Structure 1
Amino acid sequence: MINWYPGHMAKAQQKLKERLQVIDVVIELLDARIPFSSRNPQLEELLEEQRRIIVLNKMDLADYETTKDWVAKLEQEAPTIAVNSLRGQRVSLILNRAQEMMVEEQEKLAAQGRRQKNIRLMIVGVPNVGKSQLINQLCNSGSARTGDTPGVTRGQQWVKLREGFELLDTPGVLWPKQDDEEVAFKLAATGAIKEGSYDQETVAYKLLKILEERAAAQLQERYKLDWLPTHTLELMEEIGRKRGCLMSGGKIDRQRTAEIILKDFRGGQLGRITLETPKEVSEDEDSRTDY
């Protein structure tokens, strides 16, 4: 079981709850490759009464058609936008949508002879989902600290956006225990959980099992495989052999192989891949209610 919940996250979640009282619109940032698994159920409860925009980040790494399916499903809950925060693609749509959501309130202020208020935003999401990159794009500057290590943004800070907008940055927040092993695996595979908190070989092995079905051609092309082994363990060892991950006696270094597979997946070298679809998630939830 993967169980990673640094102490600063518990405190951050409490502060987040307190700050919601002064927030107009919450931006819930999800990973487009795992929209269901990257949602924090505790945040869902906190945000139930809030104006909210759901943003699917890293759309450039996710399957295009599956992302469209996820947007259609999540639109039933709240306005949903797919973006690529690294390159700034479609990011401007977020502020436009937030402005639309506040029209009625701004008109009430104008009718009272009061000037329009700055729209206060809060961005929330699990670690390493691209929050700081998104903030930088919204600011058109490098004012927010960024990093590849989950949990790099530990404090809360107000960030000035374009005229009429302020944004409260918050640390990425996981929930205390990932008791769903499938969810925990997907969070680890995409880099949301800090390395050292899980076994990389196991995560890479489970990832390969999915990729065998969804990205067989990409695996063969990336690792120059003449054939695709029937068993996942054989496939992992063949990838290790092709990449020169050998120890004394010709034994495959599975740890190094796992690191390569995870790095390639996270960086998009294996193509645009989504690890869960709306249909799969619905079927999984239905099967649980049968017991």
Structure 2
Amino acid sequence: MVDSPIVHWFPGHMAKATRMIQEYIKKVDVVIELLDARIPRSSANPVIIELINQKPHIILLNKVDLADPAATKEWTEFLASKGITVLAIDSKSGKGNKALIRAVEQLSKPIIERWLNKGIRSRSIRTIILGIPNVGKSTLINSLAGSAATRTANKAGHTRGQQWVKIGKNMELLDTPGVLWPKLEDQRAAARLAMTGAISDDVYDLENVMKQLLGHLKDNTPEILVERYKLKPEEMENLDDILENIGRRRGCLVSGGIVDLDKARRIVLADYRNAKLGNITLDTVDEEPYYVEE
């Protein structure tokens, strides 16, 4: 729980991207939505759902190598129970690529049949990759195409422009910028987006975000904190103690033996993002969103 907003972020290029996607989505047959398997609810963009309309839709839970396998299974079953085509993938290794192509082909069958009835035989199946920033869209396209087809960067929102990429003989993928929704009212989701790197590190309250991450670890997997940072039970009474003791263990000291808490926070954040704390999924299927009243 937080008392004040962590982030309100909707840069001009995000608004422009939304308008562009509204136009591009008219040109595609199947929509592929990429979610972060660690935060399937927090990384699902309501704006994208609105833009999809009635198009055939596939949800991909990406970065499964960083997520808890049991939680990924729960999320896959939960989404499938809603009638959604859902696959768990790892865009870096290519895990799930073949299943994705088969799913696109399956959802495209009615469209292909309509083409054949009209005498159209040569047009490729067109798909679009949608998702929030830094969820792995460009990496997925590179993997599917077998080459560096799009420029990627390890920062939120750094894919430039849009481009069609040919996949095999009968499929084209359109890459798009990541799109965050206009107003992040669900501050727990905002914090988790920040934890995973979907929100740029310079636009959120690091102290607040890290309190939520440490709180999650303390409540759900305290053994991870003990093992990773060599903490003793008496050093884990509260979140402030945990952070300060992590800082001491990692040498985050300034003059006078005072712990540089900001440096300690960044160490824990990097450890989470790099899976050095293990495979941790933050969103659960039975968790209700937390909304902050303004």
Q: TM-score range by the shorter chain?
A: over 0.9
> 1:95–1:154: structure 2 CA closer, same or farther, 3 Å change rule?
same
Is 1:122 matched with 2:125? no
Instruction: Name 1:7's counterpart in structure 2.
Output: 12
Q: Tell whether the 8 Å contact from 2:29 to 2:111 is kept in structure 1 after alignment.
A: no
Instruction: Name 1:164's counterpart in structure 2.
Output: 170
Q: Tell whether the 8 Å contact from 1:55 to 1:83 is kept in structure 2 after alignment.
A: yes
Instruction: Name 1:135's counterpart in structure 2.
Output: 141
Q: Output the amino acid matched with 2:225.
A: L
Matches within 5 A, 1:183-194: 183-194=189-200
Q: Secondary structure at the match of 1:99?
A: helix
Q: Secondary structure at the match of 1:168?
A: strand
Is 1:252 matched with 2:259? yes
Measured after TM superposition, the shift of residue 224 of structure 1 is 2.2
The unaligned stretches of length 5 or more in structure 2 are: none
Question: What is the aligned counterpart of 2:209 among 203, 206, 227?
Answer: 203
Measured after TM superposition, the shift of residue 39 of structure 1 is 0.9
Is 1:93 matched with 2:95? no
Instruction: Name 1:55's counterpart in structure 2.
Output: 60
Q: Deviations over 1:205-235 (max 9, x none)?
A: 2100001122211221111223351101100
Measured after TM superposition, the shift of residue 111 of structure 1 is 4.6
Question: What is the aligned counterpart of 2:270 among 258, 263, 277?
Answer: 263
**Structure 1 residue ranges, 4+ long, deviating more than 6 angstroms after superposition:** none
Query: How far, CA to CA, are the matches of 2:110 and 2:19 in structure 1?
Result: 30
Query: How far, CA to CA, are the matches of 1:108 and 1:125 in structure 2?
Result: 29
Q: Deviations over 1:3-38 (max 9, x none)?
A: 122211101100100111110111000011110110
The more displaced of 200-209 and 22-31 is: 200-209
Instruction: Name 1:234's counterpart in structure 2.
Output: 241
Name the TM-score, length of structure 1 as normaliser. Answer: 0.93
Question: What is the aligned counterpart of 1:179 among 181, 185, 205?
Answer: 185
Q: Secondary structure at the match of 1:103?
A: helix
Measured after TM superposition, the shift of residue 116 of structure 1 is 4.6
Q: Tell whether the 8 Å contact from 1:106 to 1:117 is kept in structure 2 after alignment.
A: no
The unaligned stretches of length 5 or more in structure 1 are: none
Q: Tell whether the 8 Å contact from 2:244 to 2:259 is kept in structure 1 after alignment.
A: yes
Query: How far, CA to CA, are the matches of 1:38 and 1:258 in structure 2?
Result: 23
Query: How far, CA to CA, are the matches of 1:230 and 1:65 in structure 2?
Result: 29
Name the TM-score, length of structure 2 as normaliser. Answer: 0.92
Query: How far, CA to CA, are the matches of 1:39 and 1:113 in structure 2?
Result: 38
C-alpha root-mean-square deviation of aligned residues, in Å?
1.5
- The sequence identity of aligned pairs, in percent, is 45
